Amino acid sequence: MLKTKLSIALTLVLAPGLVHATNGYFLPGFGVKSQGAGGVGIALQADSLSQAANPANLIGTGMRGDLGMTLFNPERLSATGAATGLPADPDGLAGGFNFGTAGQLATGASQSGNRLYLMPDMAFSMPLSEKVSVGLAVVGNGGMNTTYKENIFGLGGGASGEISTGTAKWGGRRDALGIDLMQLLAPVSVAYQVVPDHTLGVSLNLAAQRFKAKGLGQFVSFGITSDNKHMTNNGYDYSYGGGVRLGWLGKFADDRVSVGATWASKTYMTEFDKYKGLFAEQGDFDIPENYGLGIAIKATDRLTAAFDVTRIIYSGVKAVSNPGPGIDGGSGVAQDFILNEIAAAGGNNSTHPMALGQDDGMGFGWQDMTVYKLGVIYDATDRLTLRAGYNYGRMPVRIDQAVFSALAPGVTEHHYSAGFTYQMKGELDWEISGAYMYVANKEVRSNQQAVVDQVWYKMHQHVLGIGLGIKY
């Protein structure tokens, strides 16, 4: 147990920050091989990292170790605007944004910095007998990160750019804005072959996460947080917890067809005490329940096609799914209600049930998400394997609740990937793998939003990974 906690802590130190993972805030797949094939992995025993997708994959993986490093390059641009004084754009979607001659927003726009992030992963698997295997992995589950030099929520600060309540200064548009969330899992797994070709697996999912927020002073000044001292600008806070993942893997048609199923419980985490005035349930931020089905078909001796469907239950985490600021008549919380009901309930120490930090406090308004993954694996030679994949999931962000998601624009939907593995066989079998994923640009515009009136943001990503494996 101590060794596992040390591994999690080491990975947190090595990873300076994780970009928005591409399925909401979940990674598309565990390990470089999976990423090169669109994120598939429930019914594929590609390497020891496969246990993170389905612990039943341990049977057949053998004794091996894997180490990978993934470089994320996100490009994010966000903006907000007041409802008056700005010309409407021709398509009517932005409802008042001023687009400059260069095609960029001229008013209230900011591009997020910190565009490069490294994320390591590592795993080990070992058979104890022909029917029992065990394994350990440390992998990134997901996260979200933005760093805006111009505070897109600080437009109400007037010419000085400062927002204040009495003598308290909460900053303004000149103060940096952003959040940084990273979630890591350390599954400790065991798999048991119940009968030939059918295996069950279970993982104890130990987890760690860290978070910080800065530049959210405008929301403090509105009086809509239950604890204005624990809402923003408090540096990093850390949270720990655990859950379980169950898996099944079955093989049919002389091992030419593999079918897998997996379910992960909600991972219950300790609270972010430094941000108990921001997240619902006094800083609670659990990792959502998720489950999926996968199939892999060996069409020829060299060609395999795999397909996964996964479901992420964001609605089980109040900090993520509770309604947030939105448009009048929409699914979120309207401007008049925020100012006249929530803020009026107690000023800067609001006792309203929907104040930030309360059990029913405002959140991101995210919906549950279904992700479809398709991967093709081709053994070009006895040493070289090629991969290609596609990953799609409709964004969990509700367009009529776009305000808070400017901090975490998990809006990308289409992902295209390619990868390879080259084996170096000898007394020990070594291999090197690489993967590239392009996450297509996605843009969201919405007007008549609460707090900032109008919101606009877009994001695309490049993901590049390299991994080393050794099989004993």
User: Which tens digit of pLDDT belongs to each residue from 110-119?
Assistant: 455 566 778 8
What distance in Å separates the CA atoms of residue 134 and residue 224, rounded to the nearest whole number? 49
Structure tokens at 260: 């897998």
Q: What is the mean pLDDT of residues 107-135?
A: 80
Per mean pLDDT, which range of 20-29, 252-261, 361-370, 394-403 is the poorest?
20-29
Q: Which residue has the higher pLDDT, 6 or 207?
A: 207
Q: What percent of the chain has pLDDT over 70?
A: 82
pLDDT (0 to 100) of residue 81: 52
Structure tokens at 99: 């687009």
417-435, pLDDT tens digit by residue?
A: 999 999 998 888 999 999 9
56-99, pLDDT tens digit by residue?
A: 999 989 999 999 998 887 776 655 554 333 333 333 333 333 43
What pLDDT band is residue 348 in, cutting at 50, 70 and 90? low
Q: What percent of the chain has pLDDT over 90?
A: 57
Check whether 103 has a pLDDT greater than 50: no
Q: How far is CA 141 from the centre of its chain?
A: 7
pTM for the model stands at: 0.87
Q: Which domains does the chain have, with CATH numbers?
A: 2-471 (2.40.160.60)
pLDDT (0 to 100) of residue 111: 53
Q: What is the mean pLDDT of residues 43-68?
A: 95
pLDDT (0 to 100) of residue 16: 40
Structure tokens at 107: 């008013």
What distance in Å separates the CA atoms of residue 259 and residue 252, rounded to the nearest whole number? 8
Q: Which residue has the higher pLDDT, 318 or 453?
A: 318
Q: Which residue has the higher pLDDT, 160 or 130?
A: 130
Q: Is 13 exposed, middle or buried, given 0-12, 13-18 or 19+ CB atoms closer than 10 A? A: exposed
Q: Residue 452 half-sphere exposure, CB side, CA atoms within 13 Å?
A: 32
pLDDT (0 to 100) of residue 388: 98
Q: What is the mean pLDDT of residues 228-248?
A: 94
What distance in Å separates the CA atoms of residue 116 and residue 462, rounded to the nearest whole number? 10
Check whether 52 has a pLDDT greater than 60: yes
CB distance 396 to 3 below 8 Å: no
What pLDDT band is residue 21 in, cutting at 50, 70 and 90? low
Check whether 320 has a pLDDT greater than 80: yes
Q: Cα dist. 316→43, 96, 149, 312, 365 in Å?
A: 26, 35, 33, 9, 12
195-215, pLDDT tens digit by residue?
A: 999 999 999 999 999 999 988
Check whether 248 has a pLDDT greater than 70: yes
Closest CA to 420 of 469, 347, 460, 374: 469
Q: Read out DSSP for 137-171? A: EEEEEEEEEEEESS-TT-GGGTTTT-EEETTEEEE
Mean of all residue pLDDT scores within the chain = 83
What distance in Å separates the CA atoms of residue 55 and residue 46, rounded to the nearest whole number? 12
pLDDT (0 to 100) of residue 221: 77
Check whether 18 has a pLDDT greater than 60: no
What distance in Å separates the CA atoms of residue 406 and residue 117, rounded to the nearest whole number? 19
CB distance 424 to 433 below 8 Å: no
Check whether 169 has a pLDDT greater than 70: no
pLDDT (0 to 100) of residue 157: 45
pLDDT (0 to 100) of residue 326: 87
C-alpha distance across the termini of the chain, in Å: 25
- Position of tokens 């939003």? 449
Per mean pLDDT, which range of 123-132, 285-294, 335-344, 384-393 is the poorest?
335-344
Residue 345's SS3 state is: helix
The helix (run of H) or strand (run of E) holding residue 220 is helix 217-221
